[in-house]
Structure 1
Amino acid sequence: MTLAQHTHPQTHPHPHPHPLTLEDRAAGCLVGAAVGDALGGPVEGFSPDQIVERHGGRVHGIVGPWYEDWRTARPIAPYHKGDGHVTDDTLMTHALVRVYARVRDHLDAYAVADHLVPDLMSTPRWIPELEAEALPLQRIFLAEKWIVARLHYGHVDPREAGAGNIVNCGAAMYMAPVGIVNAGNPAAAYAEALDIAGAHQSSYGREAAGVFAAAVAAACAPGATATTVVDTALALAKDGTRAAIAAVAEAAAGLRDVEAAVVPLRAAVAPYDTVGPDYRAPSLGARRPSRLHAIEELPVALGMLLIADGAYEPAVLGAVNYGRDCDSIATMAGAVAGALGGAAAVPPTWSEQVAGASRLDLYAPAATMAEVAREVFTRDVARRRTHESAFTTLTAPR
């Protein structure tokens, strides 16, 4: 039974007078992800109540840093989170885009070793949160530094390098490009992301990477809605990840206000989340492998998407005001909502401010991914034709 049949009405809330192109959906996805990341960054790690107290209410746009003395304040030093600065979610997403631009075909764990690791550790780039040019390796979190340690220094088999890393949203947060290169083919996106993420994560962290990529691919399909995206995620997800998405979707079914959804969605995902009620004081079992659990970020992002009926602004703002790891939640919600609605779904006042503050061209990576996706599709068709010819010969009557 699908989500549309069981928990949420099938809707088409935002019909377009003209079908959205691959380029438009790619732009909506990657620009939408970056904007969500930048909006969520300043309040990452805090509770909804703390966010309301700090900002005098819910966050409804780009805000400044939580602490004025952000260079030395704990627990966020030395990062300038806020004022439209993207975080490591976007830095990693754009790094993966650069890998696709080099390989110009489907990726696997070996592409992480051969291309992503050198990119992270050898080419200085502008890092918005450091307000300086630096190696991306100097900004990314320890769970991402793990890739470099295991692959460059440890010479681990890329397909197994993710084993032993903490299980979090680290791999999932930058998998949107995998969905674009497999636009309209969620099963292929799921499989490719699982292979790529094997170099980074294991267990439900790796699973979430596959499901998120599939959600983006599903959102790129003509006629897609929030409901069809979540139906696809439920069809592909396994173990605790599937159970968590189903629980959050059921909680979202009776809600229409993303701000009022913060508490119900947290309650729905809590049994599957290992971090516990205090995000900054994780439980003893936090982020350990398990078939019973799930990352919190992806189910909540999909829940906000359902409540917003696929609309970009409410989905992202709901994710931001959820708190906890809300930059990654808003990155995921923004990517899927942007793919559903195209570039026009992302408020230009936000995208322009984020691009300016972060000193990034948010549209160039999307154009690259659309171009690569077209090339890969041509190769896929040729490979399929070769397979069809071989199989036809094998099965021809004798």
Structure 2
Amino acid sequence: MNWLRERTAAVLAGSAIGDALGGAAEGFSAEAIKERYGGRITGIVPPYHADWQTARPVSPYHKGDGHITDDTLMTQALIQVYAKHRDHLDAFAIAETLVPLLQTEVRWVPELERESILLQRVFLAEKWLVMRLQYGHADPREAGVGNVINCGAAMYMAPVGIVNAGNPRRAYTEAIDIAGAHQASYGREAAGIFAAAVAESVAPGATVSSVIDAALRYAHDGSKAAVEAVVTAARALPETATDDEIGAALREAIRPFDTVGDAYREPNMDARLPSRTKSIEELPIALGLLVAYDGDLRASILAAVNYGRDSDSIASMVGSLAGGLGGWDAVATEWLDVIAEASRIDFGVYADRLADVAEEILQADVDRARLDIALIEGLGAATGARG
């Protein structure tokens, strides 16, 4: 298996593992998680609510027992869009291909334990894609304006990083274009930063520090300030810091930038509104955990799970990055096997599909770059001749 194919598989595996483990803890505080599970979560656990079929606010979703959630479903949907277009994507590709896919493709939805269209599972911020693009006929580049600002676009941008492996700048630009159909403000910005971080993580020789540098190089406004604050807090932790102390320190660092507030299920009145000074919580925390646990896939994923709040998205993001850095050897395959069986998904199929497309795009980029160089050299020669 070549480098790109192996790293693609590892990124998607790390993402799915984080998503599935974090699903059980989503929406709850670190203290509530400990009380429910008799301590910190150390692997795949049953749902937080034993009566999950009717318990509010999570019913009718089967979160836990190794089931992936909408983070992975949307990531796989974006892979399908790449597989159809077989080139870099933009907001128009999202309108043309992703929106119909959400409405028409019937597939097994693990949390619902039945076949359904993805539109029946995704959250309101993702349903916005259909409302705005299918029924509102909005310009795809601007359709995200007016949506709630959350991690909805960022959570499935890992494939953008893979098809732009080693080129964080291009990954950021492509993700910003794609995410314009879905999100605005710091939600869209987070999508670009995450894609850039993934692109760096799968580059040969990448390190935790180079991933953070790539994220900060292209970040803007409150998102950049939030990443800087959380990463600084992570780097300042003493070697003796406990898991609980790490989580508390990172939460304290993100608090000034987080619009949701401390009571996750009772968000502030100004939560999820556009801002130049705020940030989503999930991505900075994921980057902070990557630093705090030095890229260790298992440890960083479990830390994200036990952090609580939007734990599945945080764990999915840090799992993607740790997978990109560590490769397949870092993947917790014993967890992945259980998750694949519980979710009725062959993750290898999606990894192969994305790797095939990424290789095609890479070759096309090489050809395009050669043409660009020839054009620039020709213009340079013509300019020199006129001089």
State the secondary structure of the residue aligned to 1:295.
coil
SS at 2:181's partner residue?
A: coil
CA contact (8 A) 1:88 1:139 kept: yes
Task: Please report how far the alpha carbon of residue 260 of structure 1 lies from its aligned counterpart in structure 2 after TM superposition.
Answer: 2.6
Deviations 1:346-369 (CA, angstroms, capped at 9, x unpaired): 111100000000000112211111
> For the Cα contact (< 8 Å) 1:258–1:314, is it kept in 2?
no
- The letter of the residue matching 2:163 is V
Kindly indicate whether residue 304 of structure 2 is the aligned counterpart of residue 319 of structure 1. yes
String of CA shifts for 1:136-193, please: whole Å, max 9, x gaps: 0000000000001000111100000000000000000000000000000000000000
Corresponding residue of 1:379: 364
The Cα RMSD (Å) is 1.0
What is aligned with 2:317? Answer: 332
C-alpha displacement at 1:20, in angstroms?
7.1
Q: What is the DSSP-based 3-state SS (H/G/I as helix, E as strand, rest coil) of the residue aligned with 2:108? A: strand
> Could you tell me which of 118, 123, 144 is aligned with 1:136?
118
- After superposition, what is the alpha-carbon deviation per residue over 1:268-299, rounded to whole angstroms, capped at 9, x for unaligned? 00000000010000001100000100000000
Q: Residue 47 of structure 2: which of 65, 85, 101 is its match?
A: 65
**Residues 1:356 and 2:341 aligned together:** yes
Q: By how many angstroms is 1:254 displaced? A: 2.7
Partner amino acid, structure 2, of 1:128? P
Alpha carbons of structure 1 residues 108 and 258: separation in structure 2 relative to 1, 3 Å: farther
Kept in 2, the 8 Å contact 1:258–1:308? The answer is no
- AA matched with 2:179: A
Instruction: Decide which of 270, 276, 286 is 1:301's aligned counterpart.
Output: 286
Task: From 339, 343, 347, give the equivalent of 2:332.
Answer: 347
- 1:274-331 per-residue CA deviation (whole Å, 9 max, x = no partner) reads 0001000000110000010000000000011001111100110111110000000000
Residue 16 (structure 1) aligns with: none
Partner of 2:142: 160
Q: Distance in 1 between matches of 2:330 and 2:5?
A: 14
Deviates more, 1:377-386 or 1:127-136: 377-386
| TM-score normalised according to structure 1 size | 0.94
Give the alignment partner of residue 32 of structure 1, picking from 7, 14, 37. 14
- Matching residue of 1:186: 168
Q: Is the 8 A contact 1:226 1:305 kept in 2?
A: yes
Cα deviation, 1:198-242, whole Å, max 9, x if unaligned, reads 000000000000000000000011111111101111111000000
Provide the C-alpha distance between the structure 1 equivalents of 2:10 and 2:285, rounded to a whole number of angstroms: 20
Aligned length: 380
Asked if structure 2 preserves the Cα contact closer than 8 Å seen for 1:215 and 1:336, the reply is yes
Contact 1:23-1:370 at 8 Å conserved across structures? yes
Which of the numbers 84, 93, 106 marks the counterpart of 1:102? 84
Query: Within 2, Cα distance between the matches of 1:165 and 1:179?
Result: 24
Unaligned runs of 5+ in 1: 1-18
TM (norm. structure 2) is 0.97
Cα distance in 1 between the residues matched to 2:273 and 2:100: 28
Q: Secondary structure at the match of 1:130?
A: coil
Q: How does 1:17-28 map to 2 (within 5 A)?
A: 21-28=3-10
